[in-house]
Amino acid sequence: MQAEYSALMTNNTWSLVPMPAHRRAIGCKWVFRIKENPDGTINKYKARLVAKGFNQEQGFDFQETFSPVVKPVTIRVILTLALSFQWD
């Protein structure tokens, strides 16, 4: 857990900002996991800090969501066009 926290601090993962009026902060939670070897012995302990975004309310905490994800078929079409037209 200390290594994960140190990495978050070193990478400047977050910054302190004033909270807008009539808003509430999103909480966070540490999630722990034990990684095991194939024989069942403990390999290492892992920890990560996650935001508890499930407490947000649409229209109050956010208006819309967006995830910039490309479908695999789109990538294949672009690569096929690039090969066909010999794009660099």
pLDDT (tens digit per residue) in 25-76: 888 999 999 999 999 999 999 998 898 877 777 776 677 777 889 999 999 9
Q: Which domain holds residue 53?
A: 2-60
What is the pTM (predicted TM-score) of this model? 0.52
39 in a structural domain: yes
Token duo for residue 4 = 């994960």
27 in a structural domain: yes
20 in a structural domain: yes
Per-residue DSSP letter, 19: P
Per-residue DSSP letter, 63: S
Domain count, the chain: 1
Round to whole Å and give the CA distance between 40 and 47.
Answer: 19
72 in a structural domain: no
37 in a structural domain: yes
